Structure 1
Amino acid sequence: MAGEISGTSAIRFWGRRSAFALILLRYYVLLVPTIGLYRFWLTTARRRFYWGHTDIGGDTLEYTGGAGQLLVGFLMALVVFVPVYGLFFYLSTQSASVVIIGYGAAAVLLWFLFGYARYRARDFRLSRTLWRGIRFDQAGSAWVYALRRFLWSILTLVTLGLAYPFMAADLWSYRYANSWYGDRKFGFAGSWKHLALPFYLAWAAMAAIVVWAIVIAEQTGLLENPLEGDPAGYFNFLLPLLAGFTVVTFYRAAEISRMFSAVRLGDATLTLRFSGLRLFWQYVLFAIALVAAYILLALGGFVVLTILASEAFAGYGVDFDLLLRAMQSSTITLLAIIFGYLLLFGAFTYVHELFLGYGFWHLLANSASIAGLDTLSDVRARAEDKALAGEGLADALNIGGY
């Protein structure tokens, strides 16, 4: 278990990716016959794996949330979204101007609700997380947080992103100024100044990359005729895309390190050294694994196709007339579309969780340490917030976290 050296306690995550892969596989198989409803059990199992394999100063985290709570919260959120879907259908029957205005207003509303849903989901996760038998909690107002996030987003958009450090610092501060561990309140010592240098360097680099991409578009003629130009010309954008992705990844690592290192819990202080290079390689592993998964699916699809249309593959060649007639069967085509979509989407989410989700948690936990952990020995527990029924809108909008 993690030990203490000079008053500093390590955070350690020891869950194995291979064991996690088997857990995910079992639950993903059950998603199809349950029409996706088993995802609440998947989310619960995933959190219990992460929490249960993470210890702070030698004591393991515990997740007490249940799948039934998530399901109830999701069903309650549907009561809100059914009228919204009805509104979308009504707008689709109106004139083009009404459709544009209506869909624009709906997009603004959803963007506002994203902030509410994220804060509300964080509230549920913290209230179901225990360490040393003491529960965390999230106070504050999800509506206030959503409004702050929404207004900051508008300012950030108007300033072409230049206001982002102020937005990020304000939202981090609001979250942690309203977070609790038992009867001990969290604090946040960060400000926009912690993000200014890395962000504005990244912003300048991204501006240069955008100019680079515009120059390439002009040279290849894609700027004037993007649909009529040579498709091979789009490969010229690979380097700018890779450069932009690298800049964003390294900035994300810098923000995570600096903001988490500003979190306080009484006299206990958190230090995080999150590696941008290691995060970048997690994305590389994800890309390689996703390509491999899709190749396997393509091979599997070819095998199934040869079985369903065996006559077309008789002999040494392929009878395309027989193959097309077999594929024109409504039953075969419908099954191919449904299962093809489910397999492609399932493979993406499975690989994403196994490499990016697992990799991010592993890097985050094993890059952190806490000083002054012994000052939390006198924290007293508070009662569980049982008024929370799942994560509600976060599940409906599919933006829940770990």
Structure 2
Amino acid sequence: MDGAQSPVKGETLAFGHTIKPGSFIGLSLKNGLLNIITLTLYRFWGKTEVRRRVWSHITLNNEPFEYTGKGRELFLGFLIALLALGVPYLALILAIQFVSPMFTLLMLPLYIAIIVLIGAAIFMTYRYMASRTVWRGVRFQLRGSANKFGWSYLGYTLLVMITLGWYAPAMSMRIAEKLWGGMSYGDQKLRWERSHAEGLYGPFALAWVAGIIGYGVLIAAIVPPMIASMQAGTEPGVARFLLIYGYAFIYALFVMVASAAYHAVLMRTIARSIRLGEARFALNVKAGALIGLTLTNLLLTIFTLGFLTPVVVARTTKFMISRLSSTGEAPLADAMQAERGPKTGEGLADAFDVSPF
């Protein structure tokens, strides 16, 4: 036994950050101005710089993360997605207008394909960002098939539609399982230990009922004045449209507040379902804090016309990391290097605007 090597002991995981959202104001203005000058083409490099700065301010056991993605990778991914989506869609529209209206029958398969592609875009985004996230020189990776994930996403979406939304909690858990269950740090695979939606349907029911009631109130506020205007033969003016958008905005805020408890429970449940070695995770997110974050981020985005989006990203990341904790140990020192991952960025995600960062 003298010559036997003792097993490498795991490490407890302590997350931290040095994020100061105010320090992102200058970067926000720079990105905004360059986006205007370049007709938004700079956004790929701007997004990369935001991620690089945010990652560098997140620490695990007092050691920072590193983001190694490049703007040109995002740009090339966008060009590929543009050719794959834009050309077929434009060809179909031209065929409907100039060849035969019968081509309209292809719109349903097109919509189905779009849902599949949105699912694939979500998977490809996580896969790319994992492959460009480095800690202690070791990359993360996401294993799996974007194609299979896309078809699963279609199936889940159809179930949500058929059940009038009631499958949504189960869909969220299954998507999280496919994403986080396929994630690994180097070759150290994360485990997913929950696939059901236990504890989610209570707060979801409250959000669902509130949404239905709020929608009824919205229709009652909008439809009668429109009918009266049509009967009187008067055209709706600018004030009427502003009022409609105002009602819709209030409804969206109402639904956001009503669903905050559900989203907080969902986030906590997903965090509790992830394991790395013997390490368990917890996310201390409450509905009130989530409402405050969402409302202030929304106001920052609206009143600055999106210029302070990097500040919003920094605030959101700070909110999450400051509430993330772990117990147990993970064999981080045993991790072997992962493959580099895809050569281009999440072009589909940019096309559908589904990127989490």
- Pairwise same-fold verdict (TM > 0.5): yes
1:339-360 Cα offsets, whole Å, 9 max, x none, are xxxxxxxx22x234423x2322
The equivalent residue for 1:366 is 322
Is 1:389 equivalent to 2:330 in the alignment?
A: no
Give % identity: 23
The equivalent residue for 1:162 is 166
The equivalent residue for 1:351 is 308
1:124 deviates by: 0.7
Judge conservation of contact 1:123–1:137 (CA < 8 Å) in 2. yes
The equivalent residue for 1:208 is 213
The equivalent residue for 2:72 is 68
Distance 2:302 2:120 in 1: 35
For structure 1, which segment, 205-214 or 48-57, has the greater mean C-alpha deviation from structure 2 after superposition? 205-214
1:38-77 Cα offsets, whole Å, 9 max, x none, are 2121111011111111112222111111122222222232
The equivalent residue for 1:248 is 259
Distance 2:66 2:215 in 1: 45
Judge conservation of contact 2:12–2:330 (CA < 8 Å) in 1. no
Distance 2:345 2:216 in 1: 46
Query: Any idea what SS the aligned residue of 1:77 has?
Result: helix
Going from structure 1 to structure 2, the CA distance change for 1:144 and 1:281 (only over 3 Å counts) comes to same
Judge conservation of contact 1:152–1:167 (CA < 8 Å) in 2. yes
Judge conservation of contact 1:8–1:369 (CA < 8 Å) in 2. no
1:260 deviates by: 1.8
For structure 1, which segment, 10-19 or 387-396, has the greater mean C-alpha deviation from structure 2 after superposition? 387-396
1:95 deviates by: 8.6
Distance 2:311 2:15 in 1: 21
TM-score (norm 1): 0.75
Going from structure 1 to structure 2, the CA distance change for 1:222 and 1:12 (only over 3 Å counts) comes to farther
Going from structure 1 to structure 2, the CA distance change for 1:76 and 1:95 (only over 3 Å counts) comes to closer
The equivalent residue for 1:199 is 204
Query: Any idea what SS the aligned residue of 2:315 has?
Result: helix
1:379 deviates by: 2.4
1:161 deviates by: 0.4
1:162-216 Cα offsets, whole Å, 9 max, x none, are 1112211111111122111112111122321142222123222323333444555
2:289 partner amino acid: R
Equivalent runs, 1:5-44 vs 2, <5 Å: 9-44=13-48
2:128 partner amino acid: F
Judge conservation of contact 1:189–1:262 (CA < 8 Å) in 2. yes
Query: Any idea what SS the aligned residue of 1:185 has?
Result: strand
The structure 2 residue matched to 1:120, chosen from 119, 124, 128, is 124
Equivalent runs, 1:234-245 vs 2, <5 Å: 240-245=251-256
Judge conservation of contact 2:260–2:287 (CA < 8 Å) in 1. yes
Residues matched between the structures, number: 338
Distance 2:278 2:84 in 1: 43
Going from structure 1 to structure 2, the CA distance change for 1:172 and 1:233 (only over 3 Å counts) comes to closer
Distance 1:238 1:401 in 2: 23
Judge conservation of contact 2:140–2:338 (CA < 8 Å) in 1. no
Query: Any idea what SS the aligned residue of 1:15 has?
Result: coil
Query: Structure 2 regions of 5+ residues with no counterpart?
Result: 1-10
1:42 partner amino acid: G
The equivalent residue for 1:321 is none
Is 1:268 equivalent to 2:273 in the alignment?
A: no
1:296-328 Cα offsets, whole Å, 9 max, x none, are xxxxxxxxxxxxxxxxxxxxxxxxxxxxxxxxx
2:315 partner amino acid: G
Judge conservation of contact 2:35–2:42 (CA < 8 Å) in 1. yes
1:150 deviates by: 0.5
Distance 2:346 2:252 in 1: 35
Query: Any idea what SS the aligned residue of 2:39 has?
Result: coil
The structure 2 residue matched to 1:174, chosen from 165, 178, 185, is 178
Equivalent runs, 1:319-338 vs 2, <5 Å: none
Going from structure 1 to structure 2, the CA distance change for 1:26 and 1:171 (only over 3 Å counts) comes to same
Query: Any idea what SS the aligned residue of 1:137 has?
Result: strand
Query: Any idea what SS the aligned residue of 1:193 has?
Result: coil
Distance 1:79 1:51 in 2: 31
Going from structure 1 to structure 2, the CA distance change for 1:214 and 1:71 (only over 3 Å counts) comes to closer
Query: Any idea what SS the aligned residue of 2:319 has?
Result: helix
1:398 deviates by: 3.5
1:34 deviates by: 2.8
1:399 deviates by: 2.8
1:281 deviates by: 1.9
Judge conservation of contact 2:13–2:326 (CA < 8 Å) in 1. yes
The equivalent residue for 1:333 is none
Distance 1:132 1:99 in 2: 54
1:270 deviates by: 0.8
The equivalent residue for 1:378 is 333
Judge conservation of contact 2:128–2:341 (CA < 8 Å) in 1. no
Query: How much is the aligned-residue C-alpha RMSD, in angstroms?
Result: 2.9
For structure 1, which segment, 252-261 or 265-274, has the greater mean C-alpha deviation from structure 2 after superposition? 252-261
